[in-house]
Structure 1
Amino acid sequence: MKLNLLTFILITTTLSLNAQVVGLNHTHFTQADSLRGSLRPERTNYDVLKYHLKLKVEPDKKFISGSNTISFEVLNDLSTMQLDLFENMQIDSIVYAENQLAYKREFNAVFIDFPEALKEGLKDSLQFYYHGNPQVAKNAPWDGGFVWETDEDGNPWVGVAVQGTGASLWYPNKDHQSDEPEEAQIDIAVPNGLMNVSNGRLVGEKDLGNGFTEWQWKVVNPINNYNIMLNIANYEHFSDTYNDLTLDYYVLPYNLEKAKQQFEEVKDMMACFYEKMGPYPFEEDGYKLVETPYLGMEHQSAVAYGNKYQKGYLGRDLSGTGIGLRWDFIIIHESGHEWYGNSITANDIADMWIHEGFTSYTESIFIECQWGKEDALAYLKGIRNNIGNKTKIIGEYGVNAEGSSDMYSKGANLLNTIRSIYNDDELWWNTLRDYTKTFRHQTIDSKQMEDFFDAATEVDLKPVFEQYLRKTALPILELKAADDAVLYRWQADVKDFKMPVDVFVDEEEIRLNATSAWQKLEDAEVDEIELNSLEFYVEVKKEANQ
């Protein structure tokens, strides 16, 4: 279809909602890309156990200073450790066992040398002191950096969005998705009168006596580097519960009444997601929505909310069906990431579709819970207008490169197609819940996910995943007239492609176990065959009698 400029901007913005897409249309990779995206002994020889950030934030100067204490376990003898910090940030010192360590910097990587190799099995920590003016986002969350804004009352309003660009733009860490700290403490000092809201539970508030108050937060679950976050404002707090789960909300004071009404949707969402996907993965850390000066991000247990208390996506329906205007897109989508992206995390950013495809599918899950399966299927079909099918969903491994932004809507429609192949909704929901349980709090790759869903059915899903994830075009169901019959087969990039598909023949639904070889459907005509397009995302090519 042809897109006018406004539609194109809307679609591009939507598909980039959660990630700064660093790999899109990027084919020439540099040493800096490899240092950020690859796993070498300087990274793999140790496992991060905990981050303890202790920072002072000065909004008037757009300046941060402090330290990160990094606890780690040595997995193999370690003489050099790679950490990451953007090169515009200044290193004050790196201290281990009360001694300053030597280091060298290469692009955004910091290589730290130990006087003697640390031995396998050692658990220890180092302190990394630094300061600087961190990168400012030009258009968060679509690019990475700090957002230094003021609210309507003139108070500082500060946030950060770094997915894709990297958490190392504001604090030192092993900036690779394969290694998550088991816990984190985030102590942020801000000017008196302001509050900082970070991930997990508030464990302390301390007046430092110098015009700053330190807000101390603790996370007791594994957390992605890009999810560790600060949010600074003159916040108003209110709370609720869903069963035993605490629901905490931090909003600007003049939006309090609107927030109380809008955030009622959270309890309906939780009821739906608990039923269809399993329990909230971070009950110990609680669930929060935090009003931010940018649209939204899935910051674990502190979801960023900037949808201006509207239904849809800033008041717009991304599916073109009207269904998307019944609910708040940011609440549902970003919270869906708690299960897919935050609890189950891609080892490599190349597999980000297992964050974004599944989370986009959670939008339809919520619709199905609220308004039924027919509306959910109509919504999924509507968002196909956002798909380009020009580049593959899975990106390049080892260079911090995402695949196509089709990972959102095409990923969701792939999952809907898999559900339709299952042809058994009880099996589908059981498999989805088992998936979230089996890989809870783990980092995985796409193949592990594919194998899991493949094992749940007798149908061989391997060629399906291969075509949709690693090729660009959709499979084409070819229908050709023959004497008193119709010939059918798949045309696809994957050799010997096969996939069952449901069609209507004179309004009767039947399943074709189509392969790349011609098969015959007796007593049928091409013109009377229609694809079940709500449940299967494929193309159809018909060739009637001449």
Structure 2
Amino acid sequence: MKNLILMLAVFLATSNISCAQVLSNKEGNYTEADSLRGSLRLERTFDVQKYHLKLKVEPEKQFISGSNTISFIAEEDLSIIQIDLFENMKVDSVLQNGKTLAYERKHNAIFIDLKETVKSDKKGEIQFYYSGEPIVAKNAPWDGGFVWDQDENGDPWIGVAVQGTGASLWYPNKDHQSDEPEEVQLDIAVPNGLMNVSNGQFLGEKDLGNGFTEWSWKTVNPINNYNVMINIANYEHFSDSYGDLELDYFVLPYNLEKAKEQFKEVKPMMDCFYEKLGEYPFVEDGFKLIETPYLGMEHQSAVAYGNEYKMGYLGNDLSGTGIGLKWDYIIIHESGHEWYGNSITAKDIADMWIHEGFTSYTEAVYVECRWGKEKALEYLKGTRRGLGNNAPIIGDYGVNSEGSGDMYFKGANLLNTIRSIYDDDELWWKTLKDYTETYKHQIIDTETTENFFNEATDVNLDPIFEQYLRQADLPKLEFRKRDGKTQTRWVTDVENFKMPVDILVEGKEIRIHPTNDWQNLKHDIELDEIKVNELEFYIASAYMR
């Protein structure tokens, strides 16, 4: 979930379960710092190619130090570039071709004067040396920061969760979702006896001879900044495979046997997602589950797992139906992000529903693969119980603003509603898989998503997307009797709203096509006989007048 666990703080209001990550909706009260972070200024007109992080992590001091070598291609002639790093972190020096560069700090942005202008379409590189005590998360992953913990044996157990807050909390980067490095290498030195696990393939370990061992990892696929991660503990490792995909698991030693049993769910999950969504998007980087001292996050190819080896969400069912207790929520949801969020990424954080709505829908996809469509529909309906429908699920663009937490399950139920509008499951599954494979490893926006699903059907989905994504309220379906005729209409914020919907009359399903204008139903139906098919359509309760 946006990381994950964010999950809908709103949503969980009714279930006494807190979920993750901080939503940055400031209701329009944006600052200069928000604009520096969220906008694409001239100083950000470069395409990051590679980050090479070389860090030393000192658990006792809660201190990190080292460098990030940033390789990029200029999109305009660049004499000044903006790199982001939180104010509490110290800039030790910035170099270009061995020459020290001058810089100016403004909030969490650093404007660096390049001694040698990088011409448009040419490659540039800087070495950024830094150090400090990164912000400590008070309650990860609901808030961003480092987690400096100990396991039951007293060994350091360290993780980081920064989605929404920003990867620049702990390393210098171009902290905007529109740009992903093509590859990342992490050389992370930790005290001897500990292991660091990061994204991608393991390159090796090296005893530095000073009480620290350096663990090196490298990705070969584009990766979101907030997914670049370190996980430090005295881990036990076991592995498996799924065809050509390497499956690696890193857990605390005393949880090894529990993990071997719990993680058996990965293979049926892969069976389902390969069929419905397409091949795992990062085969070259492998798939890992890593036990973390917080609930979880979708860190690409290195999924954080902290669900305590329980079914559901820490032993709870977010849907209230009992179906959510049949599977491990964190394994399924966070892994679903590999397809939506990690592979397909929203250009602006305002469009995070592309991550969270689709990933929440993968939960129902998994339920349907294992237990059938009716259970999946029941699960989806159950997830509506905590939705507020009090703010749009698309945020404000250019100011690092997410939309409403409803983006999770309202987004998932919107997708289910579109499936029902299609009224053709073969077409629906083909369209979903085509979308997922068409935009693999791409950065897109809501309009791209809308257009793709719109082109697959004769129904104009534009007003439907407009109402569900950009308005707070659900469409309301009204019925009334006039002159002996049964009439119906939609009440919406969006003008010229049309959406087919199925109603049940004495057990028989009938599709009707309401608009914003009252119209007579073709069938003579008494009002108390009408029941909306709420399993397949997420709308406001039908009003009988």
Return the TM-score normalized by structure 1: 0.96
Deviation at 1:122, TM superposition (A): 1.3
Query: What's the counterpart of residue 36 of structure 1?
Result: 37
Deviation at 1:244, TM superposition (A): 1.3
Q: State the distance in 2 between where 1:534 and 1:327 align.
A: 21
| Counterpart amino acid of residue 196 in structure 1 | N
Q: State the distance in 1 between where 2:85 and 2:541 align.
A: 50
Q: State the distance in 2 between where 1:72 and 1:7 align.
A: 41
Query: What's the counterpart of residue 534 of structure 2?
Result: 533
The correspondence of residues 506-517 of structure 1 with structure 2, limited to 5 A, is: 506-517=506-517
Deviation at 1:543, TM superposition (A): 3.0
Assess if the C-alpha contact under 8 Å between 1:307 and 1:314 holds in 2. Answer: yes
State whether structure 2 residue 129 is matched by structure 1 residue 129. yes
Query: What's the counterpart of residue 83 of structure 2?
Result: 83
Query: What's the counterpart of residue 288 of structure 1?
Result: 288
Three-state SS of the structure 1 residue aligned to 2:433 is helix
Q: State the distance in 2 between where 1:9 and 1:463 align.
A: 30
Query: What's the counterpart of residue 271 of structure 2?
Result: 271
Q: State the distance in 2 between where 1:482 and 1:26 align.
A: 43
Q: State the distance in 1 between where 2:148 and 2:438 align.
A: 40
Assess if the C-alpha contact under 8 Å between 2:463 and 2:497 holds in 1. Answer: yes
| 1:64-96 deviation line (CA, Å, top 9, x unaligned) | 000000000111101110000001000110000
Assess if the C-alpha contact under 8 Å between 2:289 and 2:304 holds in 1. Answer: yes
Assess if the C-alpha contact under 8 Å between 2:394 and 2:404 holds in 1. Answer: yes
Query: What's the counterpart of residue 498 of structure 1?
Result: 498
Query: What's the counterpart of residue 120 of structure 1?
Result: 120
| Counterpart amino acid of residue 203 in structure 2 | V
Query: What's the counterpart of residue 102 of structure 1?
Result: 102
Assess if the C-alpha contact under 8 Å between 2:15 and 2:386 holds in 1. Answer: no
Three-state SS of the structure 2 residue aligned to 1:393 is coil
The correspondence of residues 120-199 of structure 1 with structure 2, limited to 5 A, is: 120-199=120-199
Q: Which has the higher contact order (CA 8 A, sep 6+)?
A: 2
Assess if the C-alpha contact under 8 Å between 2:78 and 2:118 holds in 1. Answer: yes
Query: What's the counterpart of residue 22 of structure 1?
Result: 24
Deviation at 1:115, TM superposition (A): 2.6
State whether structure 2 residue 163 is matched by structure 1 residue 201. no
Q: State the distance in 1 between where 2:491 and 2:219 align.
A: 50
The correspondence of residues 295-310 of structure 1 with structure 2, limited to 5 A, is: 295-310=295-310
Q: State the distance in 2 between where 1:175 and 1:40 align.
A: 12
| Counterpart amino acid of residue 222 in structure 1 | P
Q: State the distance in 1 between where 2:464 and 2:17 align.
A: 26
Query: What's the counterpart of residue 349 of structure 1?
Result: 349
Cα RMSD after superposing both structures: 1.3
Assess if the C-alpha contact under 8 Å between 2:11 and 2:385 holds in 1. Answer: no
Deviation at 1:26, TM superposition (A): 3.7
Three-state SS of the structure 1 residue aligned to 2:457 is coil
Deviation at 1:125, TM superposition (A): 1.2
| Counterpart amino acid of residue 438 in structure 1 | T
Q: State the distance in 2 between where 1:243 and 1:489 align.
A: 52
Query: What's the counterpart of residue 445 of structure 1?
Result: 445
Query: What's the counterpart of residue 361 of structure 1?
Result: 361
| 1:138-176 deviation line (CA, Å, top 9, x unaligned) | 000000000000000000000000000000000000000
The correspondence of residues 381-396 of structure 1 with structure 2, limited to 5 A, is: 381-396=381-396
| Counterpart amino acid of residue 390 in structure 1 | N
State whether structure 2 residue 377 is matched by structure 1 residue 372. no
Task: Give the direction of change, closer, same or farther, for the CA distance of 1:6–1:371 in structure 2 (3 Å limit).
Answer: closer
Query: What's the counterpart of residue 428 of structure 1?
Result: 428
| 1:34-79 deviation line (CA, Å, top 9, x unaligned) | 00111111002x1100000000000000000000000001111011
Q: State the distance in 1 between where 2:110 and 2:11 align.
A: 43
Three-state SS of the structure 1 residue aligned to 2:283 is coil
Deviation at 1:118, TM superposition (A): 1.6
Assess if the C-alpha contact under 8 Å between 2:532 and 2:542 holds in 1. Answer: no
Paired residue for 2:13, among 4, 8, 11? 8
Query: What's the counterpart of residue 330 of structure 1?
Result: 330
Deviation at 1:10, TM superposition (A): 4.5
Deviation at 1:9, TM superposition (A): 7.1
Q: State the distance in 1 between where 2:11 and 2:128 align.
A: 46
Deviation at 1:524, TM superposition (A): 1.4
Stretch of structure 1 that moved more, 92-101 or 110-119: 110-119
Q: State the distance in 1 between where 2:308 and 2:227 align.
A: 22
Assess if the C-alpha contact under 8 Å between 2:12 and 2:386 holds in 1. Answer: no
| Counterpart amino acid of residue 13 in structure 1 | S
Deviation at 1:204, TM superposition (A): 1.3
Q: State the distance in 1 between where 2:162 and 2:178 align.
A: 16
| 1:192-214 deviation line (CA, Å, top 9, x unaligned) | 00000000010111000000000
Assess if the C-alpha contact under 8 Å between 2:12 and 2:18 holds in 1. Answer: no
Query: What's the counterpart of residue 225 of structure 1?
Result: 225
Among the aligned pairs, what percent are the same residue?
68
Query: What's the counterpart of residue 488 of structure 2?
Result: 488
Three-state SS of the structure 2 residue aligned to 1:523 is coil
Query: What's the counterpart of residue 6 of structure 2?
Result: none
| Counterpart amino acid of residue 21 in structure 1 | L
| Counterpart amino acid of residue 42 in structure 1 | E
Three-state SS of the structure 1 residue aligned to 2:500 is strand
Three-state SS of the structure 2 residue aligned to 1:495 is coil
| Counterpart amino acid of residue 215 in structure 2 | W
Q: State the distance in 1 between where 2:538 and 2:11 align.
A: 26
Deviation at 1:355, TM superposition (A): 0.3
Q: State the distance in 2 between where 1:22 and 1:147 align.
A: 21
Aligned residue pairs total: 535
Q: State the distance in 2 between where 1:70 and 1:7 align.
A: 40
Three-state SS of the structure 2 residue aligned to 1:197 is strand
Three-state SS of the structure 2 residue aligned to 1:152 is coil
Assess if the C-alpha contact under 8 Å between 2:239 and 2:249 holds in 1. Answer: yes
Assess if the C-alpha contact under 8 Å between 2:11 and 2:405 holds in 1. Answer: no
Deviation at 1:22, TM superposition (A): 1.6
Three-state SS of the structure 1 residue aligned to 2:284 is coil
Task: Give the direction of change, closer, same or farther, for the CA distance of 1:483–1:9 in structure 2 (3 Å limit).
Answer: closer
Assess if the C-alpha contact under 8 Å between 1:484 and 1:525 holds in 2. Answer: no
| Counterpart amino acid of residue 18 in structure 2 | T
State whether structure 2 residue 528 is matched by structure 1 residue 523. no
Q: State the distance in 2 between where 1:122 and 1:88 align.
A: 32
| Counterpart amino acid of residue 342 in structure 1 | N
Deviation at 1:484, TM superposition (A): 4.0
Q: State the distance in 2 between where 1:116 and 1:73 align.
A: 14
Deviation at 1:12, TM superposition (A): 6.6
Deviation at 1:8, TM superposition (A): 2.1
Task: Give every structure 1 segment of 4 or more consecutive aligned residues whose post-TM-superposition deviation is greater than 6 Å.
Answer: none
Three-state SS of the structure 2 residue aligned to 1:459 is coil
Deviation at 1:124, TM superposition (A): 2.7
| 1:334-374 deviation line (CA, Å, top 9, x unaligned) | 00000000000010000000000000000000000000000
Deviation at 1:507, TM superposition (A): 1.7
